[in-house]
């Protein structure tokens, strides 16, 4: 199977290569793709060196699968060209997520929605993925009315330049330009572009994508997204109002039985999820599960996941595995 990774030299692209290898995905020929300035650079896969090629070269090679992590404008331009040669595209940008007829997929939640006619498939926002992994089993049993989420998002979500900027500031340098303010020793309540309604695009993504993935537009979601000077993963404080009452023990059991979710909830022993613990792992971790006593049928929880893995690359590879297992690639 010919597999193209578009954006192979970036943080998410590199994670895609690593996860394809770890999960022994049936790649017979790897095609790393990046911008023209990166053509000829080398990437490693399963101990072998591969040369980066242009998108045109990759399309001419007619891969069966293309994993995209190259930005929205590039995805809008290139995904249809790859699809036109019979290639299945799993796109990590926001370009296709809310388009009519394009599936937005977290395999554990709505993988069943995929069909053999889907050639462009959208990978959700990293913060949305980890949240719906926890919300969906709760929604199926109790029904969710409203979600209030505040995120604590790693600098790795912005890319390599952001990581370099934070580390430079931490070392006493004057690195600046990726963020509008200093990120080290600070938090910035601003991810993506502000819209006329006062929300950022990242906050709107979480609202819209959650309803689309879970197939229920009645769920109210409001988000505040915040960049924090950490690496390893994104964290979220989530308040969930349910249609029916619950027992905390039942919620914990429900989440413990959810594939891909790990419950770490032992306050007496300082047991709760943290980004350092999530780094390099594919699971979504949840803890601090407790009743909200300020109103009926409401609970709080804390959700953490590695945004480069389950929040991006792992989810994309899981979609690809689903396509392969169905015999569509």
What CA–CA distances, in Å, run from 87 to 8, 31, 116, 117, 320? 17, 13, 12, 11, 12
Q: Taking a C-beta distance cutoff of 8 angstroms, is the pair 201, 192 a contact?
A: yes
Sign of the alpha-carbon torsion through 235, 237, 243, 245: positive
* Cα–Cα distance for residue pair 109/103, rounded to 1 Å: 12
What CA–CA distances, in Å, run from 189 to 152, 160, 181, 202? 9, 20, 11, 11
Active site residue 126: yes
Identified catalytic residue from 87, 139, 234, 301: 234
Active site residue 234: yes
* Cα–Cα distance for residue pair 69/11, rounded to 1 Å: 9
Identified catalytic residue from 87, 126, 139, 301: 126
* Cα–Cα distance for residue pair 260/109, rounded to 1 Å: 10
Q: What is the enclosing helix (H) or strand (E) of 223?
A: strand 220-224
Q: Where are the beta strands (DSSP E) in 61-135?
A: 65-68, 88-91, 103-104, 120-122
* Cα–Cα distance for residue pair 256/97, rounded to 1 Å: 29
Catalytic residues: 126, 234
């Amino acid at each position: 199977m010919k597999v193209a990774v578009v954006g192979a030299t970036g943080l998410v692209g590199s994670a895609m290569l690593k996860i394809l290898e770890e999960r022994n995905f049936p790649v017979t020929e790897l095609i790393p793709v990046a911008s023209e300035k990166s053509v000829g650079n080398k990437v490693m896969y399963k101990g072998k060196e591969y040369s980066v090629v242009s998108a045109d070269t990759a399309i001419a090679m007619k891969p069966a699968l293309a994993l995209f992590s190259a930005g929205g404008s590039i995805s809008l331009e290139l995904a249809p060209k790859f699809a036109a040669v019979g290639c299945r595209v799993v796109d990590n940008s926001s370009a296709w997520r809310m388009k009519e007829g394009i599936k937005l997929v977290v395999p554990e939640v709505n993988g069943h929605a995929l069909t053999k006619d889907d050639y462009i498939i959208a990978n959700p926002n990293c913060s949305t993925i980890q949240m719906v992994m926890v919300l969906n089993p709760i929604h199926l049993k109790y029904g969710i009315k409203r979600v209030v989420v505040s995120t604590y998002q790693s600098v790795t979500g912005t890319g390599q330049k952001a990581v370099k900027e934070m580390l430079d500031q931490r070392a006493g340098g004057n690195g600046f330009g990726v963020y509008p303010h200093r990120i080290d020793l600070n938090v910035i309540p601003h991810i993506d572009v502000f819209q006329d309604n006062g929300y950022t695009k990242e906050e709107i993504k979480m609202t819209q994508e959650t309803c689309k993935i879970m197939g229920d537009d009645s769920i109210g979601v409001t988000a505040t997204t915040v960049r924090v000077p950490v690496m390893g993963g994104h964290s979220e404080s989530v308040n969930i109002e349910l249609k029916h009452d619950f027992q905390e023990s039942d919620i914990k059991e429900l989440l413990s039985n959810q594939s891909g979710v790990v419950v770490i909830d032992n306050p007496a022993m300082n047991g709760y999820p943290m980004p350092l613990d999530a780094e390099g792992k594919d699971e979504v971790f949840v803890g601090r599960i407790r009743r909200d006593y300020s109103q009926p049928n409401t609970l709080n929880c804390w959700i953490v996941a590695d945004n480069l893995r389950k929040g991006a690359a792992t989810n994309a590879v899981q979609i690809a595995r689903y396509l392969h297992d169905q015999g569509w690639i």
